[in-house]
């Protein structure tokens, strides 16, 4: 394998990893605050992509407006789901709320099949995102640069909100102890709602980016990204925001290099992700960056 | 305190992982959420011996009013466009020829969700619940093989529209099809690569979870090696799975080997993404594929990247072959307002062949229909003259099409070997 070839594989891996990271951040933030693994996260991604699809295709809105609207709508849907499916179970055992999340996930998938139809559709992507940059024999798609940049900007923004704002302080308080936070005068419902809104907005950005990179859209499109990004979040240390990013990159680059070096195993790339998950849980259950800040956000 | 906390996180995570594995087991069956139904194929196996007289009885009971024909096609999932196009053709045929033996034909459609387990469930549901006399379907060879076993055990004949893998009808006396098979299709594409594109080195990219793709790739390989006389004419064989979206790792390896042509049969969605990513990586070699490429979504998803892609298929609106072709073409345009694809035409033909067999059998009894189907000869369908050979396969010409300016354009017709 020449260096150029290796570089191309690495770039492919970073491009995939940054997409995983982007989605994993939302996953991990919601877990950090409410200690709930939101299994519907992947399906929220799917909804966001469909919102853009309909905005452009049905209502003929400009692309950027559909994307913005999609982010807002998805955030509202996320808050709605929290109110309907998670809030009534807040005092129930944690398993109940987890099962409720799985229920929401199945509901959204089948809702998608009924309403949007099961036939895969093409996701519209504007010219800006389609170009390719060539460095000698190595090609980088524009999205391969845009997505990591967006991921890092959102990551920094999120860390800033959590650590430096009043809402962020309230979020951290909720993550430590909800009852005490209530006693301190924090409006817990509002904070949790805000967390879900923010998480879903992040999912929407992830969904739109996913659609731009892989412009094939169907109602089950969110399942695999949802699972992979959950793994990424666990690998990095669930609840830890920079950890989710690290986990995403490890998973993305690992998958690409597995197929690159062992082409015979390319059918097992999803299994690879699950094996990593099992190994991490066996030997370092708090994840790579988990121990230091597991109890913070 | 701290240890306790970590422990509880740990426990929750372990539980989550167990749940995840259960979920992914569901996924492996690709959303076969009706787990109670998954026992059905086994049930039908047991029911075969004792249930045969049963099903005869019930079919004679129900045959008083209508003739029941079952349809199982992927209406959702990765092959949804293919299944939906086929069903359009079947519905059209049903509207044009709604009766046989003086009775109305009633169609029962079951979605097999592009999933092998669901396909087997769909067939047993059609047989046991809807008591159909004959079944039509399915787009996708893997789905047809899964369904075919159930139909064979229950001794109900099936007419396939577009499953092209030879194994669908091999060793299954109850499965027939109105399309050509992959040894021929592979040879057609190998000849196109060698003669028209003057290719000496080819790479293959196949979907290993799809029997159609694996089979067709192997036939292409055989034919191409024979044509070039070069054992190493296939420089690479890359693999992926249905549902994959990221192909850059495989493609980067292939780019390095610099083949003259790339043969990549598979579902239209994955294939379109794959070709798009190949062009983004700077791969310039022409792409070739099989009949599954013919779906409008292939061009919508692939966009500029799939320009020039050539593939073999069953039928073209530009060169009607029989009287029935014209009839079909006009009726289809009137009903749906667009040009039909090969899959609509094959669905149309499958329905007509099944109806013709019922007519010749003179009864709605599955065994009689099977025997009549096996004797199908010189039947004039929309896709050509259909004669079923001893395996139940149709020996028909293939059509090569190419993507030009965002449309499928007819290139040439290739006659089968005699």
Mutate to test the interface with B, among A216, A234, A236, A285 (most CBs of B within 10 A): A216
| Residue A113 near chain B (CB below 8 Å) | yes
In a mutational test of the B interface, the residue from A3, A5, A7, A8 whose CB has the highest number of chain B CBs within 10 Å is A8
Q: Span B112-124, mean pLDDT? A: 93
Cα B25 to Cα A220: distance, rounded to the nearest angstrom: 15
With CB atoms and an 8 Å threshold, state whether A119 touches B276.
Answer: no
HEC string of chain A equals CCHHHHHHHHHHHHHHHHHHHHHHHHHHHHHHHHCCCCCCHHHHHHHHHHHHHHHHHCCCCCHHHHHHHHHHHHHHHHHHHHHHHHHHHCCCCHHHHHHHHHHHHHHHHHHHHHHHCCCCEECCCCHHHCCEEEECCEEEEHHHHHHHHHHHHHHHHHHHHHHHCHHHHHHHHHHHCHHHHHHCCCCHHHHHHHHHHHHHHHHHHHHHHHHHHCCEECCCCCHHHHHHHHHHHHHHCCCCHHHHHHHHHHHHHHHHHHHHHCHHHHHHHHHHHHHHHHHHHHHCCCCCCHHHHCCCC
Residues 6+ apart with CB under 8 A from B288: B189, B192, B193, B261, B262, B263, B264, B309, B310, B311
The pLDDT value given to residue B23: 57
Q: Which residue has the higher pLDDT, A269 or B168?
A: B168
B113: which chain A residues are within 8 Å (Cβ-Cβ)? Answer: 118
Contact B281 A139 (CB under 8 A): yes
Cα of A74 vs its chain's centroid, Å: 13
Q: For residue B25, is pLDDT > 70?
A: no
Is B250 close to A266, i.e. CB distance below 8 A? yes
Chain A partners within 8 Å of B23 (Cβ): 102, 227
| Cα A181 from Cα A200, distance rounded (Å) | 23
Beta carbon pairs, A and B, within 8 Å? 142
Q: Which residues of A touch B16 (CB under 8 A)?
A: 37, 98
The percentage of chain A sitting over the pLDDT mark of 70, rounded to a whole number, equals 97
**Angstroms from A210 CA to nearest CA on chain B:** 10
Nearest CB to A118: which of B13, B20, B77?
B77
B402 and A CB contact within 8 Å: no
- State residue A291's pLDDT score: 58
A57-67 residue pLDDT tens: 888 889 999 99
Mean pLDDT of the region B33-47: 35
CB-side exposure of A34: number of CA atoms within 13 Å? 29
- B208–A281: do the CB atoms touch at under 8 Å? no
Alpha-carbon span B291 to B313, nearest angstrom: 4
pLDDT of residue B8: 56
What ipTM goes with this model? 0.86
Residue A214 has pLDDT above 70, yes or no: yes
Confidence tier at A179 by pLDDT (50, 70, 90) = confident
Q: Which two tokens stand for residue A118?
A: 């099961």
Compute the nearest-CA separation of B65 from chain A (Å): 32
Average per-residue pLDDT for chain B = 85
- Which of A214, A230, A273 to substitute to test the interface with B, most B CBs within 10 Å? A214
What is the pLDDT, as a whole number, of residue A248?
94
B21 touches chain A (CB under 8 A): yes
Tokens representing A10? 């690495």
pLDDT at B354: 95
Whether residue A282 lies within 8 A of chain B, CB to CB, comes out as: no
Mutate to test the interface with B, among A57, A266, A279, A284 (most CBs of B within 10 A): A266
What pLDDT is attached to residue A40? 92
- B258–chain A Cβ distance below 8 A for any pair: no
- Quick one: pLDDT band at residue A232, thresholds 50, 70, 90? very high
pLDDT given for residue B24 in this prediction? 55
Query: Does the CB of A279 have a partner CB in chain B at under 8 Å?
Result: no
Range in A231-240, B51-60, B255-264, B374-383 with the lowest mean pLDDT: B51-60
Does residue B50 carry a pLDDT above 60? no
Mean local confidence (pLDDT), A13-33: 91
pLDDT number for residue A267: 78
Instruction: Give residue for tokens 């240390």.
Output: A237
- Domains, chain B, ordered by start: 39-180+345-387 (3.40.50.2300), 183-313+399-414 (3.40.50.2300)
Q: For chain A, which domains are there?
A: 3-293 (1.10.3470)
Residues 33-92 of A with CB under 8 A from B: 35, 37
Question: Which residues have CB under 8 Å from B185's CB, separation 6+?
Answer: B164, B216, B219, B290, B291, B312, B398
pLDDT of residue A66: 93
Reduce the secondary structure of chain B to three states and give it as a string: CHHHHHHHHHHHHHHHHHHHHHHHHHHHCCCCCCHHHHHHHHHHHHHHHHHHHHHHHHHHHHCCCEEEEEEEECCCCCCHHHHHHHHHHHHHHHHHCCEECCEEEEEEEEECCCCHHHHHHHHHHHHHCCCCCEEECCCCHHHHHHHHHHHHHHCCCEEECCCCCHHHCCCCCCEEECCCCHHHHHHHHHHHHHHHCCCCCEEEEEECCCHHHHHHHHHHHHHHHHHHCCCCCEEEEEEECCCCCCCHHHHHHHHHHCCCEEECCCCHHHHHHHHHHHHHCCCCCCEEECHHHCCHHHHHHHHHHHCCCEEEECCCCCCCCCHHHHHHHHHHHHHHCCCCCHHHHHHHHHHHHHHHHHHHHCCCCHHHHHHHHHCCCCEEECCEEECECCCCCECCCEEEEEEECCEEEEEEEECCCC
pLDDT in tens, B121-169: 999 999 999 999 999 989 999 999 999 999 999 999 999 999 999 999 9
Residue B5 above 60 pLDDT? no
pLDDT of residue B13: 62
Residue B254's pLDDT is: 92
Q: Residue B228 has what pLDDT? A: 93
Residue A131 pLDDT? 82
B27 in contact with A at a CB cutoff of 8 Å?
Answer: yes
Nearest to B239 among A216, A266, A270 (CB): A266
Maximum mean pLDDT: which of A23-32, A35-44, A71-80: A71-80
> In B, residues 331-360, which contact A (CB 8 Å cutoff)?
none
Given an 8 Å threshold on Cβ–Cβ distance, is B17 in contact with A281?
yes
Q: Indicate the pLDDT class of residue B16, thresholds 50, 70 and 90.
A: low
Contact residues, chain B, for A119 at CB < 8 Å:
76, 80-81, 84, 297
Of B75, B252, B301, the CB nearest to A215: B301
State how far residue A214 is from chain B, nearest Cα, in angstroms: 6
Model confidence at B38: pLDDT above 60: no
Label residue A297 by pLDDT band (50, 70, 90): very low
Q: What is the pLDDT of residue A4?
A: 85
| d(C-alpha A16, C-alpha A20), whole Å | 7
Lowest mean pLDDT of A115-129, A160-174, B260-274, name the range. A115-129
Q: B62 CA to chain A: closest CA distance, Å?
A: 32
- Choose the closest CB to A224 out of B14, B113, B243: B243
- So what's the pLDDT on residue B1? 41
pLDDT of A125 reads 82
% pLDDT > 90, chain A:
54
Among B13, B240, B253, the residue with its CB nearest the CB of A234 is B13
Of all residues in chain B, what percent carry a pLDDT higher than 70? 84
pLDDT digits (tens, 9 = 90+) for B331-343: 999 999 988 989 9
* Pick from A129-143, A148-162, A165-179: least confident: A129-143
- Kindly indicate the confidence band of residue A134, based on its pLDDT and cuts at 50, 70 and 90: confident
pLDDT of residue B48: 34
Minimum CA–CA partner of B278 in chain A: A139
What is the arithmetic mean of pLDDT over A193-205? 94
Average pLDDT, chain A: 89
Contacts of A259 in chain B (CB under 8 A): 249-250
Average pLDDT of the residues in B356-377: 93
Beta carbons within 8 Å of B17's beta carbon, 6+ residues apart: A277, A278, A281
User: What distance in Å separates residue A86's CA from the closest CA in chain B?
Assistant: 17
Of A139, A220, A270, the CB nearest to B280: A139
> Which pLDDT score, from 0 to 100, does residue B167 have?
92
Is the pLDDT at B235 greater than 90, yes or no? yes
Task: Please name the residues between 60 and 79 in chain B that touch chain A, using a CB distance below 8 Å.
Answer: 75-78
Distances (CA, A) of B310 to A160, A222, B182, B236, B415: 52, 31, 16, 20, 17
The answer to whether B12 faces chain A, any CB pair under 8 Å, is yes
| Cβ–Cβ under 8 Å, residues B154 and B120 | no
């Amino acid at each position: 394998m020449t260096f150029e070839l290796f570089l191309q594989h690495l770039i492919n891996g970073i491009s995939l990893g940054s997409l995983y990271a982007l989605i994993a951040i939302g996953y991990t933030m919601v877990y950090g605050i409410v200690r709930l693994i939101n299994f519907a996260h992947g399906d929220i991604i799917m909804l966001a992509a469909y919102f853009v699809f309909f905005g452009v295709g049905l209502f003929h809105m400009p692309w950027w407006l559909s994307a913005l609207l999609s982010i807002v709508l998805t955030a509202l849907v996320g808050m709605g789901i929290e109110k309907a499916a998670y809030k009534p179970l807040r005092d129930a055992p944690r398993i109940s709320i987890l099962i409720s999340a799985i229920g929401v996930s199945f509901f959204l998938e089948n809702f998608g099949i009924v309403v949007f139809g099961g036939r895969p559709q093409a996701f519209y992507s504007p010219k800006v995102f389609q170009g390719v940059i060539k460095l000698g024999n190595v090609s980088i798609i524009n999205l391969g640069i845009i997505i990591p940049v967006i991921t890092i900007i959102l990551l920094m923004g999120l860390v800033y909100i959590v650590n430096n704002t009043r809402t962020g302080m309230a979020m951290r308080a909720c993550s430590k102890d909800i009852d005490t936070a209530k006693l301190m005068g924090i409006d817990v419902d509002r904070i949790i709602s805000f967390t879900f809104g923010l998480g879903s907005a992040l999912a929407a950005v992830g969904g739109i980016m996913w659609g731009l990179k892989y412009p094939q859209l169907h109602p089950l499109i969110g399942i695999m990204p949802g699972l992979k990004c959950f793994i990424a979040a666990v690998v990095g240390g669930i609840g830890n925001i920079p950890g989710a990013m690290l986990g995403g990159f490890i998973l993305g680059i690992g998958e690409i290099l597995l197929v690159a070096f062992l082409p015979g195993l390319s059918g097992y790339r999803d299994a690879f992700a699950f094996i990593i998950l099992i190994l991490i849980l066996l030997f370092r259950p708090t994840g790579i960056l988990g121990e230091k800040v597991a109890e913070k956000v | 305190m701290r240890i306790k906390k970590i422990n509880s996180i740990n426990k929750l995570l372990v539980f989550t992982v167990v749940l995840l594995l259960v979920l992914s087991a569901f996924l492996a069956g690709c959303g076969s959420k009706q787990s109670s139904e998954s026992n059905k194929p086994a049930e039908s196996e047991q029911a075969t011996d004792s249930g045969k007289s049963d099903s005869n009885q019930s079919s004679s009971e129900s045959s008083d009013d209508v003739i029941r024909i079952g349809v199982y096609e992927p209406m959702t999932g990765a092959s949804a466009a293919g299944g939906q196009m086929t069903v359009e053709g079947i519905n059209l045929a049903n509207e044009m020829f709604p009766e046989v033996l003086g009775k109305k034909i009633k169609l029962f459609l079951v979605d097999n969700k592009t999933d092998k387990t669901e396909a087997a469930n769909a067939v047993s549901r059609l047989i046991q619940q809807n008591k159909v006399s004959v079944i039509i379907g399915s787009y996708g060879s893997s789905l047809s093989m899964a369904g075919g076993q159930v139909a064979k055990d229950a001794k109900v004949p099936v007419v396939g529209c577009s499953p092209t893998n030879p194994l669908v009808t091999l060793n299954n006396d109850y499965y027939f099809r109105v399309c050509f098979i992959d040894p021929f299709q592979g040879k057609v594409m190998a000849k196109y690569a060698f003669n028209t594109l003057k290719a000496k080195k080819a790479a293959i990219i196949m979907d290993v979870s799809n029997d159609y793709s694996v089979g067709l790739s192997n036939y292409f390989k055989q034919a191409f090696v024979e044509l070039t006389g070069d054992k190493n004419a296939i420089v690479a064989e890359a693999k992926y799975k249905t549902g994959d979206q990221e192909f850059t790792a495989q493609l980067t390896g292939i780019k390095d080997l610099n083949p003259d042509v790339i043969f990549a049969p598979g579902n239209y969605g994955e294939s379109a993404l794959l070709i798009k990513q190949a062009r983004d990586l700077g791969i310039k070699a022409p792409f070739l594929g099989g009949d599954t490429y013919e779906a409008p979504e292939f061009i919508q998803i692939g966009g500029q990247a799939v320009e020039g892609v050539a593939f073999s298929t069953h039928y073209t609106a530009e060169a009607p072959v029989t009287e029935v072709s014209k009839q079909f073409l006009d009726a289809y345009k009137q009903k749906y307002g667009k040009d039909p694809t090969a899959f609509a035409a094959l669905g149309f033909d499958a329905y007509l062949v099944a109806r013709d067999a019922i007519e010749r059998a003179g009864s709605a009894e599955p065994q009689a229909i099977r025997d009549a189907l096996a004797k199908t000869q010189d039947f004039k369908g929309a896709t050509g003259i259909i004669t079923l050979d001893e395996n139940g396969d149709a020996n028909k010409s293939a059509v090569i099409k190419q993507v030009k300016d965002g449309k499928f354009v007819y290139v040439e017709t290739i006659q089968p070997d005699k």
